[in-house]
Every structure is written in C-alpha cells, then in structure tokens.
Structure 1
Amino acid sequence: MYPYINIGPVHLGTFGLLLWLAAVAATVVLHKNFLRHGVDADALNVVAMVVVAGVIGAKVWHELQNIPDLRFAMREISAPGWHQPLKVLVAFLHWFQAGFAWFGGMLAGVAMLMWQGRIAKVGPIRMLDLAAPAAAIGYGVGRIGCLTSGDGDYGIPTHLPWGVHMRPDALVPTPNLVQPTPIYELLFSLALAWLLWRLGRKVRPLGWLTGLYLLLSGLGRFLVEFVRINPRIYWGMSNAQVAAIGSMVVGAIVMLAVGARKGSTAS
C-alpha cells in the first residue's frame, strides 16, 4: 500500500487523492441523473458541499467515540504553541489524515443533501433519491483511499490468495497478510450504484430509492464488518455494525411508509 506519493518536493496523501476521485465520480453520476430527470441544479456544487460535510461528520463521529484519545490528540496538536501557527497547522493536518467513521459521514452527508435540495428547489427527499446512485459509487471509490493509506480499515489476517500487505509506513501498519475489505466494499458499491441507476429510470414514489439505498448500503457494511479488524463492542458486534443495523431499519421503515402512502393514495 502507498499512503503517500512523493513527486519531488510534493508530498501527496493517497487518501486525499482517492477522496477527490470519489467526488469526481459522484459528480459525474449525479450530473447525468440531473440531466436524465430534467433537474436544473449544479451537481459539482452539491457534491463539493456534501464531501466537506461528510468528511467533517465522519471525523467528528470517530473522535467522539473515544474522548480520551481526542484530548490527547488536541494536546499533541497544540504542543508547538500557538505562537508557531504553521507547526500547529501541520500537526492538525497529520491528525486529520486518519480516523473517520462511515456513519457520521453518512448522517452529515444526508443533512447536507437535504439542505441542498431546498436551495435548488428540488426538494430534500427528491434530492436524496437523485443522489443515491452517486452516493453509492462515491463511497466505494473513496474506500480504496482507506486501503492505499492503510488507515486501519482493512480486514482480519488471512491466507487467501488475494490478501494484501500493509507497508511499514502505513497509517496503521501490520505485519500480517490481511483481507482487502475496502475492495469488497468497492465491488458491492458498484453493484448497488448500478441497481439504483437502473431502478431510477422509472418514476418511483418519493423516498423509495433513498430507503433502498439505506437498507442495502447498511446491509453491505454490516456483512463486511465480519472480516474487519474493528473491535466487537456491543452484543458481539462492532460499532459500525450497530450503525449499519440502524441504517437498515430506517431504510426499511422509509420503504414501508412510502408503500403504505402509495397504497392509501391509490385507494
């Protein structure tokens, strides 16, 4: 894995590069969906705002899960002293490179999408439906950044032929051959994006695609956690699995509510 790419004096983090590529892929898909449905909105602006909100939300959620570690990190960042702002900034950027929670990013991204739907006069729920395929493909591509940076999102030790090694300079190094769980998530996300795109060709009840996205994306995250290194905290499950169950439950409720509303309207 290659957490950094050095081009002369330029020191680039691969996580940031893959996050940018994920935003590009999501922008292309969202733009095409806007065109397909005759929506006059700026896909680039929507995705940019969602990415910023999602990264901040993911980082905040991750840090709030362990307050002592957050306090320690803040002490390390401020150690150079506020009279040396450049060193403080460098320490902050180094801390910000790793440690992101999927559920916090999803919550912040959903909130930002709904707000963007109001701004674009599309409607909050319709914006979520339109963005579902883009969200799926963006998430999958972004996960590869976790793999290349070796930030601890990889899987358990394995002897499978497709297992991968983490380099010593990975953000969270390990000497073991591990399962490339981000690749599993990429493949699942591509399949989910394709399904949502196909289903989105027809007019669906408002919120139905969003419910399906929450249900299936939660299912994918729940399953991949069985081969992830995340600690089991609640009832033998990881924190991410509990959050994934919440996503699946909300998605199922949304789909049932949409179906009930459609049925009552038809009658």
Structure 2
Amino acid sequence: MVSPKKLLPTMLLWAGLTGFLGARIFHVFEDGQLFRAQTFMELWESGGLTFWGGLFFGAASYFYIGMQKGMDWKHLADIGSLGMLMAYGVGRIGCHLSGDGDWGIVNNYEKTVEWLPQWAWSFRFPHNVLNQGEYIPGCSGKYCSILPHGVFPTSLYEAAAILLVFGVLWCVRKYIKVPGMVFTIYLFVVGIERFLIEFIRVNYKFNVGGIALSEAQLISLGLLLLAAFVAGYLFMKNGAKRRLVK
C-alpha cells in the first residue's frame, strides 16, 4: 500500500479538478437555469458553483484513488469528513464577506436576541460581488451595490455552526474508536444543518409532492438516509465483532 502522505498530492489534484466540474454542473440545477436556458452553452457560460457538486465529484475521486491503493474506505471517510467540515465552514465565511448570493430571505422581523449584533440578524451585504441591489451613494469602483432590504446572513450562520461542530469533533476524535463513525456524524450534521437553513435561504425550489424543496434539501435528505445506513452497518459489524471476541 502506498503511503497516504505520498498519495496526498495526487488525491488533492484530482479532487480539485473533478470537484470544480461537479460544482459547475450542480449549479445549473440549483439555480433553475436548466429550465430557462435554450442551449448547452447558455447553461455552461452562466456563472456560479455549488458546494454539493464539488463535494460529490471530488469525494468520488478521493475515494477511488485511495481505495485503489488499498486504503480502507472508513478511514478515508473519517479523515475527509474533518477536512470537509473545516473547508465548508471557512468557505462560508468567504461567502459572507464577499456577498456572493448565498444569503437568506428578507428579514424584517424584530430582533429577539438582545446580545446578537444587528448585522448578524439582518444584513444588506454592501459592496456585494454580484452587484445586486441599489447603488451606494458616493461609491466608486466595481462593487457599489447594497441590497434594498436586510436579509438573513445564512452563510454566517452556516459558518458558525459547521466550525463549532468541527471543533467538537476535533477534540473528541481520539475517543471515537469505531472507524467510519466520524463520517456518520458528519453526514448527520451536514444533512440536518443544510436542510434547515434552506428554509430561510434564497434558492430555486422544486415541487416534490406538493412541497417546495431546494436541490440542497433533496440532497440533504439523501445524506441523512446514507448516514442511517452507515450507522446501521457499523453497528451490526462491530456488534458481530464483539460477539466473536466473547
């Protein structure tokens, strides 16, 4: 088996390349452009990247290369889960600071948590990179727009939640003895977090049995089912091992 340290550059390269491709493809569905565009080039040339596409395509390359070299999928999954939590959390901070459109619906509700800063409750994303909203008086340069109404800064909420989970898992990782359990926790956390946050995010919604759900919510449900399956598999496998030991 090849040393994981020596294999890491190859895994990162292919995960990055395939992840970018997946992020681009999934964006077409998330933004609803598949139903508005007339040609393939219109679909491809429109800007945007989606986390889920990058995760799935990049993870597929990561697992394929690692398992081809004799690595256990459970160890690969545990290691990758911690890395993805950190990457997702930091990435959402970038989304918030740049104002790339990963914001929530308009928030005109009165702030109920006194200690929470107003910008963490309702934010207008001045100088956002999409140039959405109205012109900022006296501003010069490329990014001089601000949203007309405050919205939920959902990218900030996601960053805080995911980085908190990462910190907890990092502290207790040595006490989790069952390979694959960190991965299972990752699936549960990411699935639940993204499913819930989508209710106050601006995203294209699909009609699923009369219920409006975004692409991210549909994927989140799939992740939760996968988490339940993996948890059951690990429980049965480790329960059988304990019986054999006895």
Task: Give TM-score, length-normalised by structure 1.
Answer: 0.69
Could you tell me which residue of structure 1 aligns to residue 191 of structure 2?
218
Matched AA of 1:109: G
Map of 1:151 onto structure 2:
100
Q: How does 1:18-29 map to 2 (within 5 A)?
A: none
Paired residues, what number? 212
Q: Equivalents in 2 of 1:120, 1:70: separation in Å? A: 42
Following superposition, the deviation at residue 151 of structure 1 comes to: 2.8
Q: Does 1:67 find its partner at 2:40?
A: no
**Cα distance, 1:265–1:229 mapped onto 2, change above 3 Å:** same
1:108 paired to 2:57: yes
SS in 2 for 1:156: coil
Match in the other structure for 2:173 = 200
Note if contact 1:117-1:125 (Cα within 8 Å) is conserved in structure 2: no
- Offset from partner CA, 1:123-158 (integer Å, 9 cap, x none): 333111112111101011112232334332101112
1:238-257 superposed matches below 5 A: 238-257=214-233
1:122 to 71, 82, 97: 71
Name the % identity: 26
| 1:13-37 Cα deviation digits (max 9, x unpaired) | xxxxxxxxxxxxxxxxxxxxxxxxx
Give the Cα–Cα distance (whole angstroms) in 2 for the partners of residues 236 and 176 of structure 1: 24
Distance 1:68 1:128, change over 3 A: same
**Residues of 1 paired with 2:128 and 2:173: CA distance?**
43
Gaps of 5+ in 2: 112-117, 134-147
Matched to 2:34, the amino acid is I
Deviation at 1:237, TM superposition (A): 2.4
Aligned 8 A contact 2:176 2:182 in 1? no
Separation of aligned partners in 1, 2:68 and 2:182: 21
Report what 2:155 is aligned to: 182
**Could you say which residue in structure 1 is the equivalent of 2:129?**
170
Closer/same/farther in 2, CA of residues 204 and 110 from structure 1, 3 Å limit: farther
Match of 1:236, SS?
strand
Q: Judging by fraction of residues, say which structure has more helix.
A: 1
Q: Hey, which bits of structure 1, 4+ residues long, moved more than 4 A?
A: 41-45, 68-73
The runs of 5 or more residues in structure 1 that have no matched partner are: 1-37, 78-91
1:101: how far off?
2.7
State yes or no: 1:265 paired with 2:225. no
Aligned pairs for 1:133-148 within 5 A: 133-148=82-97
What does residue range 86-105 of structure 1 map to in structure 2 within 5 Å? 95-96=46-47, 98=48, 100-105=49-54
- Aligned Cα root-mean-square deviation (Å): 2.7
In structure 1, the partner of 2:142 is none
Matches for 1:39-50 after TM superposition, within 5 Å: 40-41=5-6, 43=8, 45-50=10-15
Cα separation, 1, equivalents of 2:5 and 2:100: 38
Deviation at 1:72, TM superposition (A): 5.4
Structure with larger Rg = 2
Q: Kindly indicate whether the alpha-carbon contact (under 8 Å) linking 2:20 and 2:54 is maintained by their aligned counterparts in 1.
A: yes
Is the 2:204–2:214 contact (alpha carbons within 8 Å) kept by the matching residues of 1? yes
In structure 1, C-alpha distance between the alignment counterparts of 2:149 and 2:199, rounded to whole Å: 17
Using structure 2 for the length normalisation, give the TM-score.
Answer: 0.74
The residue type equivalent to 2:178 in the other structure is: P
Cα distance in 2, alignment partners of residues 169 and 121 from structure 1? 46
Alignment CA distance shift 1:59-1:192 (3 Å):
same
Deviations 1:149-202 (A, max 9, x none): 433210111245122223466326142211111111111111121232233213
Q: Which amino acid is the alignment partner of residue 237 of structure 1?
A: L
Equivalent in the alignment of 2:136: none
Cα distance change on mapping 1:201 and 1:178 into 2, 3 Å:
same
- Structure 1 CA distance for aligned equivalents of residues 81 and 60 of structure 2: 14
Q: Which residue of 2 aligns with 1:28?
A: none
- 1:57 alignment counterpart: 22
**Aligned CA distance change for structure 1 residues 172 and 60 (closer, same or farther; 3 Å):** farther
